[in-house]
Amino acid sequence: MKDSKDKISISKATIDRLPLYFRTLRLSQEESMEIISSEELGQRLGVTPEQIRKDLASFGQFGKKGVGYYVSELIRNIGEILGLDYNWHIAVVGVGHLGWALANYRNFDSLGFNLVAMFDVDPNKIGQCIKGTEVFHLDRLKEVMEERTIHIGIIAVPEMYAQEVADQLVAAGVRGIWNFAPRKIKVPEAVRVINEDLSVGLSSLSFYLARQTPTN
């Protein structure tokens, strides 16, 4: 019988908290911390120590009772759980303001994501290099993606072109899509999509702020 623990018993909420633990541990490492307790980690994140221990126990036994977690060891363990040791190749489609910002995101490399190509249709952008990454015409997407073994595509194009770009990425063999266009895209079940709709986030923030009692 196939072990399906990872697929069934581990909640999305637990998985979503792992990157927060990873980031906070790395910041702790920069502060020269060698050992951290679940209490300290929880205080930094606003998560209970019990929840942290429960989340980590879903993947194995980490740390020592009465001592805490060895920071470098837990960073390595969580990085492996998140698959950050795979050195994923990524590409950005759309070299507008958002595309430029993503290309200059300094944490891609440190997390193990390698930006290896960018794509656009503007002839003035084709051939440019952004932080050493070349911009190709969208017509060459399949060719370049296969040549450079690109696993993840980032969609940073206007809404009306998002599905068309998604179709091209899928046809090129992409395994995951990070979609910044403000619309849902349809892809085969085997392709994982994360939607990052900035307008939804701001609108949600507006909703809560509008209901606060004015201070003035």
- Please give the backbone phi and psi of residue 203, each rounded to the nearest 5 degrees, phi first: -65, -40
Position with higher pLDDT, 69 vs 212: 69
How many domains is the chain built from? 2
Residues placed in the known binding site for NAD(+): 94-99
175/96 same-domain check: yes
Tens-digit pLDDT profile for residues 52-82: 999 999 998 898 888 899 999 999 999 999 9
Q: Which residue(s) pair with 129 in the sheet?
A: 134
Domain assignment present for 216: no
Tens-digit pLDDT profile for residues 119-160: 999 999 999 999 899 999 999 999 999 999 999 999 999 999
| Predicted local distance difference test score (pLDDT) of residue 199 | 80
| Predicted local distance difference test score (pLDDT) of residue 201 | 80
Give the domain CATH number at 126.
Answer: 3.40.50.720
pLDDT of 4 > 60? The answer is: no
Give the domain CATH number at 27.
Answer: 1.10.10.10
- CA angle in degrees (0–180, nearest 5) for 111-117-121: 135
102/187 same-domain check: yes
122/180 same-domain check: yes
Strand order in the sheet with 129-130: 129-130, 133-137, 113-120, 88-93, 152-155, 176-179, 192-195
| Predicted local distance difference test score (pLDDT) of residue 213 | 61
pLDDT of 215 > 70? The answer is: no
Domain around 156:
87-200
| Predicted local distance difference test score (pLDDT) of residue 207 | 83
Domain assignment present for 12: yes
92/186 same-domain check: yes
Across 169-186, average pLDDT: 95
Mean pLDDT taken over the chain: 90
pLDDT of 5 > 50? The answer is: no
Q: Are strands 133-137 and 129-130 parallel, antiparallel or unpaired?
A: antiparallel
Q: Which two tokens stand for residue 36?
A: 């951290």
104/76 same-domain check: no
Domain assignment present for 206: no
pLDDT of 212 > 80? The answer is: no
| Predicted local distance difference test score (pLDDT) of residue 109 | 83
Taking alpha carbons only, the member of 161, 164, 188 closest to residue 176 is 188
Domain assignment present for 136: yes
Share of the chain above pLDDT 70, in %: 94
Residues placed in the known binding site: 94-99
Domain assignment present for 75: yes
Eight-state DSSP code of residue 89 = E
pTM for the structure as a whole:
0.81
55/127 same-domain check: no
97/175 same-domain check: yes
Separate counts of helices (H) and strands (E) for the chain: 10, 9
